[in-house]
Structure 1
Amino acid sequence: MKEEVEISKIKERILKFLKKRSKRSFRLKEIARKLGLMEEYEMDVIRRVLMEMVERGEVIKLPRNKYKFKPNPKILVGRLTVNPNGYGFVEVENEDSQIKEIFIPPRFIHTAIDGDKVAVSIVGKGKGELAEGEIVDIIERGRKIITGVLSKRKGIYFVVPDDKRLIHDFYIDEKNVKKFNARPGDKVAIELVDWIDERFAPEGRIVEVLGQAGENDAEILAIARSYNFPTRFPDEVLEEAEEIPDEIPSSEYAKRLDLRNLICFTIDPEDAKDFDDAVSLEILPDGKYKLGVHIADVSYYVKEGSEIDLEALKRGTSVYLVDRVIPMLPEKLSNNVCSLNPNVDRLAYSVFMIVNSKGVVEKYSFHKSIIRSKRRFTYEEVQKIIETGEGDYADIILEMHKLSKILLKKRLREGSLDFETPEVKFKLDEDGKPIEIIKKVRLDSHRLIEEFMLLANQTVAKHIGKMSKKNREYPFIYRVHDLPDPAKLKSLAEFVRKLGFKFEVDSKPLSKSIQKLLAQVKDTEYEYLVNDIAIRSMAKAIYSEKNIGHFGLGFKYYTHFTSPIRRYPDLVVHRLLYEYTEKGVDDKRLREIAQKLPQICKHSSEMEIRAMEVERESIKLKQVEYMKDHIGKVFDGIISGVVEFGLFVEIQDILVEGLVKVRDLTDDYYIYDENQYALIGKYTKKVYRLGDKVKVRVVRVDESSREIDFVLIGKISR
């Protein structure tokens, strides 16, 4: 009884001591010394009491065995982003929380690293209006793979991370270095082994040597690996792929619609190797169009649950880098057996649509088929035929062009948005060094394929969506796009108003109002800028088992069916379409599918975003390499962003963006005006506003941080 009273009193004293000093943390010995309880048995009691208090949530245990009073038992959870200067921000996951973002000072980050999912305790008011927090637990490490350069200092190996948001070097055990025969100066991929004590460096383990730092292959592969995209297939996947026969089994011919005599062909980029889709068109006696969209039947070769399937699900998508593709499927499938190469028999899933002169699909049918593509066209070849009326299958291509224009007109009339988003491609030498940046041109031949694929995707989604209304739910993968955020639309309206354009946010339907804005800026110097900011105002299109429609396209039903070689959701859509329309499915199987789809949709959406980031990073890498050879050169650009510390300027011909630092604007003291999207000179009243055309000189290119600095020469008069 006496011991219980003792423990109770000690607990009360500890709580009072920590509460009085709630912003500080203490080790056990410090607490014992302050309370005058330094005997061995008293220290044991304090240890037991502290453990109990931690379990009950009255006290927080921090790294380095420190203890701290917990003033607010509510812990917020979110993802940590670290600034290269050492502080961080946590975006809170709970949508109901009043606190949306938390500032984390360097001393409170402890052993968390950029990207980690963390638990945060609020400790007070922080940077600006933000709450200040302390990381009290790492729930999940955000980075599976970290890339960097191996270095050796005083006989100890470290990896210096490529990403500046990873502010610590990683210790590497010498045995691990020798196992991979790695050398200082190598670009390596590592995984985090452990980090529990912030007094010491985090420990990493090399999992792959990517090559010599600075070499093209090593730098490109490092980008892919840093986003956790594998650069090679596991042996069991390659072995399974090798077992797939090169020739179509003779038994399969009798089971399918034989379309080998049908005139169909592929239209793809010049450097494409995987051909997902072929198209055909016939004009019927009544003048209607019979449009055929024939998609590689990947589902025949890749069975659910197989090694290839599991790896494809994990990857989610193919990744298109500047100089290579990281495919979702092994090359034997993606470039050979599944690819609709010309003049060879290939298995396909065909959609035939009877389309009238107004672009309305009156009838449609789905068929497992065998096709033989008659020609492999590039977009440029088809464009030449559209413009001259001459070339292989010119009569069919001209009719296709006519139909695509009908479909586009109908789509826009019904509220679809048609954004212009410029892209670049690179001319590389044999070492992968960029010697030219070329702005891609959107051709009518691109639109032709876009319209046919959109129609096929919509037809498949509509078919399954309407099946679900007949007293039975058919789980499916939809491609959905939510309505835009009203606050972002108001910001967009305010921005374009300052450029002299009108955008009525409250006008109904909203899509028509956005269309009017896009029409106003078309072919003006602001077209790409306004398109870019309008796109950022939109929600992100994702995969979902819940159909909410696609705002951007103006479709009630939409899915992805047309690219199963390079997108995992399309492969699943093929399986579901066949199972629901041909094989038949019982309730047990429907429940099984319904359980699996939410995770497939979530993972595929995440991998799509990650793939886009990798693609952007590889483009940025080559742009920086290109600009390194152009230091001192002068370019025309447009102000693409205005911030407190300077002006972002994009060189429009090559879409390279750099920063003019405010400290380099030496003719005046410039003040940032957020409402006007401008920097304004205090004395001269000179204004540099978003959208202004300017001349800049390249003064600095940093390959490691992929940053380009400009100095401003002056405005270009309108």
Structure 2
Amino acid sequence: MSRKKLKKKGIEAAIRKIFERQPDQKYNAKEVSAILQITDKNMRKLVLSILNDLKSQNYLNEFQKGYFIFNDSYQNNFIGTVDATSRGSAYIIIDELDSDIFVQAHNLENALHGDTVEVEVIKQRKNKTEGRIKKVVNRKTTQFVGTLDVKNKFAFLILDNNKINVDLYIPLEKLKGAKSGEKAIGRITSWPKGVDNPFGEILEVIGMPGNNDAEMLSILFKNEFEIKFPQKVIEEAEKVGMDLDQEEVKNRKDLRNKLTFTIDPFDAKDFDDALSYEVLENGNIEVGIHIADVSHYVRKGTAMDEEAYQRGNSVYLEDRVIPMLPEQLSNMACSLRPNEDKFAFSAMFEMNEQGEIYKEWFGKTVIHSDYRFAYEDAQEVIEGKSDTLKEPILALDQIAKRLRKERLKNGALSIESEEVSFIIDEEGKPTGVAKKITKDANKLIEEFMLLANKRVALFVGKLPGNKGSNSQFIYRCHDKPVIEKLQTFSVFINKFDYDLEFENIDNVAQKINGLLSKIKDTPEYDLIQTMAIRSMSKANYQTNNIGHYGLAFDFYTHFTSPIRRYADLVVHRILLDHLNKKQKNYGNQLNEISEHISNQERKAIEAERESNKFFQAKYLVDKIGEEFEGTVSGLADFGMFVKMNDNHCEGMITIQSLPDDNYYFDNDKFQIIGRQTKYTFNFGDQVKVKIKDVDMLKKQVDLTLIE
């Protein structure tokens, strides 16, 4: 630090002491200088500059022109959570502040991503507050996954998480037999002050890098998902039998005589929803939406309930599922398997062929699924290629189409997220890429699940007399989009010669739906749809109902998947209390549940994304040197991303490797531009690329431009 900076820092500390000793006294620069015995003209100017800095930091208030007084509401230290960047710096998220506090790498001390810390504000400008870590209040985790690098006298565990910019120092006697190059789980044992790296020990070896099991376990561990169920949870699950309690059957509405069936993916094992269909004597249709009654088996306060809460949801990786509940429940006792009597929580609707509802009923039932359709089977019925349960399938399909049409008319977004998965052989090798195509059979199930979720939210969530929303409930919310993001999306699609102006939020869905319908069969459709999704807010769970923008529902919740989502399990319990006229006050408990399961959902999405990137790299590793047609799918100051048209995999071309010129990224124009040739690369450009390299450790694909 320079002598000038040291001098300024010393004077600032002295000025702070003056105001802290006399917090009710006002001073001007001349008076402060006199107290500090500063007579030099330039130094007095420095005093005035420091006083203005302290005012901008809210440490001082300007009592009147040129006079300053201590701000008694000033707070310099805060408790927050570390959100680290891959560059080594971090932002500290403070609940009570509107903006985060930025901390440079050298001021982080020993704080790691996710830790709860005490941070001290050291600089405050108009748009940025900077601080330094005073202490770690609570370490988020002391266990990490990484790859071992064993030297002659010591070893390092090089951590997978790129938000943690230190490696774990491992003495050789604490390797537990682990070898160099292996992936392992390590634990911090100590971190002496002034030492760059924490000391640790190896807890468990999980395999070699590139091995499917090792990589998937690594992803799950990094995102803090447990792989195994605790013994107590397993013991509770094993006590759940397949036979129904006949005394409980007597307390439920018996619907086993109604035609009931499931429609699911062909490889599904947990069936958490079924539909029943009956034409009534008055000509109306009764549709039953039957949901696995998980709450009957998983009681509040049990080990199974606590474990389900901690997990928050099932995690779907490319080659495996990490269930929220043990298999005895998820695939057996709770699953609405064909030709078995099952307990369900049902939503029954009497409606006409247009989907208009005349009556509704919610309650505990016992059902019997007569038939199991895969989506492909039901689609064949809809397309006239099969007659299996033809009447109910076609009738429900028509109602679903009318429900969807009504949603879109009311302002729902017609966006279908692009899902690409890998075909994996028995040896764990990806042999092909499959793109999910949503057809009428998928939409049939989707619309009836949306209907059940909406009607449950209205039934429980809406206060009598239209006085607002019941705060003792968990809603699935989706906020309106931020206009700045929409303007960025507008600039993006302009590169494809499409012009959308977003003057207000009210017509956003209509305009985006119109654009997507217009470009359905173009090469850029998938890319524009992906960018449309990114321009929207993220859905989450809340007790403060703000509605669901994307679905155009004022009331919406999650009720239909309690086998794989904890939110639905809680909603089942609240709905049952409501039906039984039990008015419970949960206090802040539902807020805590909502925040936790929203966080778990985000982590599951990240784990699923990492899993896809690993199998993408594994699929392309033996295709190095091959050439592919592709579409520019992303631009940044370090290069551009290209999605290959045939296999839907994405790689990156570094900006330095672009031929024939020195290129730069223009953030305002969303272009990469050649300094001499002025040649530009835009989103959606069609290019030809060669796979240059595949880094399995980083799950990264490097491309070079051919033309």
- Deviation of the 1:482 alpha carbon: 1.0
Q: 1:442 aligns with which of 413, 438, 441?
A: 438
Q: Does 1:682 align with 2:679?
A: no
Shift in Å, 1:147? 0.8
Question: How many Å separate the matches in 1 of 2:512 and 2:249?
Answer: 49
Native 8 Å contact 2:83 2:93 kept in 1:
no
Counterpart of 2:102, as a letter, is I
Q: What does residue 193 of structure 2 align with?
A: 197
Q: Match of 1:560, as an amino acid?
A: H
1:711 aligned to 2:704?
yes
C-alpha distance in 1 between matches for 2:637 and 2:127: 17
Aligned-pair CA distance for 1:205: 4.3
SS of 2:428's partner is coil
Q: CA deviation at 1:332?
A: 0.4
Q: Deviations over 1:536-589 (max 9, x none)?
A: 1211111111111111100011000000000001011111111111x2214xxx
Contact 1:382 1:445 in 2 (8 A): yes
1:434-469 superposed Cα distances (whole Å, 9 cap, x missing partner): 111111111211111101100011111111123555
- What aligned pairs does 1:564-713 form with structure 2 within 5 A after superposition? 564-581=562-579, 583-586=580-583, 590-591=584-585, 593-713=586-706
CA contact (8 A) 1:186 1:210 kept: yes
Indicate the residue corresponding to 1:42 in structure 2.
none
Structure 2 gaps, min length 5:
1-5, 14-58, 60-73
Matched, 1:232 2:223: no
Q: Secondary structure at the match of 2:676?
A: coil
* Equivalent residue letter for 1:74: N
Once the two structures are overlaid, the 10-residue window that deviates more, 302-311 or 372-381, is: 372-381
User: TM-score with structure 2 length normalisation?
Assistant: 0.85
Q: Which of residues 495, 499, 518 in structure 2 aligns to 1:498?
A: 495
- Does residue 219 (structure 1) correspond to residue 223 (structure 2)? The answer is no
Structure 1: give runs of 5+ residues left out of the alignment.
1-14, 23-57, 59-71
Structural mapping, 1:64-79, within 5 Å: 74-75=76-77, 79=81
Which residue of structure 1 aligns with residue 52 of structure 2?
none
Equivalent runs, 1:248-647 vs 2, <5 Å: 248-467=244-463, 469=465, 473=470, 475-507=472-504, 508-581=506-579, 583-586=580-583, 590-591=584-585, 593-647=586-640
Question: Letter of the aligned partner of 1:496 in structure 2?
Answer: I
CA contact (8 A) 1:359 1:410 kept: no
**Deviations 1:262-287 (Å, cap 9, x if unpaired)?**
21111111221111001122233444
SS at match of 1:522: coil
- Residue 675 of structure 1 deviates from its aligned partner by 2.1
Question: Using a 3 Å threshold, how does the CA distance of structure 1 residues 277 and 175 change in structure 2: closer, same or farther?
Answer: farther
Amino acid at match of 1:356: N
1:596 and 1:130 map into 2 onto residues whose CA distance is 34
Give the match's secondary structure for 1:265: strand
How many angstroms does 1:397 deviate by? 1.3
Q: Provide the rounded CA distance (Å) in 2 between the counterparts of 1:107 and 1:176.
A: 29
Task: Give the direction of change, closer, same or farther, for the CA distance of 1:704–1:511 in structure 2 (3 Å limit).
Answer: same
Q: CA deviation at 1:525?
A: 2.2
Aligned partner of 1:112: which letter? A
Cα displacement (A) at 1:679:
0.9
Provide the C-alpha distance between the structure 1 equivalents of 2:118 and 2:415, rounded to a whole number of angstroms: 40
Q: Letter of the 1:114 partner, please give it.
A: H
Preserved contact between residue 262 and residue 275 of structure 2 (Cα < 8 Å): yes
Q: Residue 135 of structure 1: which of 133, 136, 153 is its match?
A: 133
Equivalent position of 2:31 in the other structure: none
Please name the residue that 2:107 is paired with.
108
Q: CA deviation at 1:403?
A: 1.5
**1:502 and 1:517 in contact (8 A); partners too:** no
Contact 1:501 1:520 (8 Å CA) reproduced: no
CA deviations 1:60-115 (Å, max 9, x no partner) are: xxxxxxxxxxxx9724665545555x531315435755x646261x4333322334
Per-residue CA deviations over 1:351-380 (Å, capped at 9, x if unaligned) read 111223333222111131111111221111
The secondary structure found in structure 2 opposite 1:209 is: strand
Alpha-carbon distance in 2 for matches of 1:174, 1:469: 71
Give the structure 1 partner of residue 10 of structure 2.
19
- Report how far residue 187 of structure 1 moved: 2.1
Offset, 1:197: 2.3
Q: Which amino acid is 1:493 matched to?
A: S
Of 338-347 and 668-677, the range deviating more from structure 2? 668-677
- Tell me if structure 1 keeps the 8 A contact 2:237–2:329: yes
Given that residues 644 and 650 in structure 2 are in contact (C-alpha distance below 8 angstroms), is that contact kept between their aligned partners in structure 1? Answer: yes
Q: How far does residue 666 in structure 1 lie from its aligned partner after superposition?
A: 1.9
Distance between the aligned counterparts of 2:471 and 2:675, measured in 1? 64
Instruction: Report the CA distance between 1:521 and its aligned residue.
Output: 3.2
Q: Look up the SS of the partner of 2:681 in the other structure.
A: strand
Distance 1:257 1:264, change over 3 A: same
1:173 shift after superposition: 5.4
After superposition, what is the alpha-carbon deviation per residue over 1:507-552, rounded to whole angstroms, capped at 9, x for unaligned?
Answer: 4344323333333333222222222222112111111111111111
| Deviations, residues 140-188 of structure 1 (Å, cap 9, x unaligned) | 434454211234322434322122333322123566543xx54444322
**Percent of paired sites with the same residue:** 40
Q: Indicate the SS of the match to 2:593.
A: helix
